[in-house]
Amino acid sequence: DQQVKQNSPSLSVQEGRISILNCDYTNSMFDYFLWYKKYPAEGPTFLISISSIKDKNEDGRFTVFLNKSAKHLSLHIVPSQPGDSAVYFCAASALGGSSNTGKLIFGQGTTLQVKP
């Protein structure tokens, strides 16, 4: 039962262009969403998060959009840089639930390649 899905295993964009990574979820109890970036042989690095009370959060080149009705979120990277090439994971949590443990449910990841 994959509650968080990243349907695109890979994405290739040109340097300077926009990268859009997508994520869908099925559990309506999820109310906190995060994006992590991961290089090979390293741990995930936190990028940006969004609470379900918002529909957009921006931090520098990174913006996350949340569409609760569609149970969909996306990460926009503008402009994309070669150093952004990595695997990006979407993760969700149900912080407001009665069993508020904060455990993260991850998608399968999308490999982003930014070409110079």
- For 84, list phi and psi in degrees, rounded to 5: -80, -10
Reduced to 3 states (helix: H, G, I; strand: E, B; else coil), residue 48 is strand
Q: Does 107 bind other proteins (CB under 8 A)?
A: yes
Residue number, 39 or 67, with CB nearest to other proteins: 39
DSSP-derived 3-state class of residue 45: strand
Residue window 23-52: x/- pattern of binding to other proteins, with contact defined by CB under 8 A = ---------x-x-x----xxxxxx--x---
Distance in Å, CB of 95 to other proteins, minimum: 6
Does 69 participate in binding other proteins (rule CB under 8 A)?
A: no
Among residues 77, 92, 109, 114, the one that binds other proteins under rule CB under 8 A: 109
- Cα–Cα dist 31/6, whole Å: 18
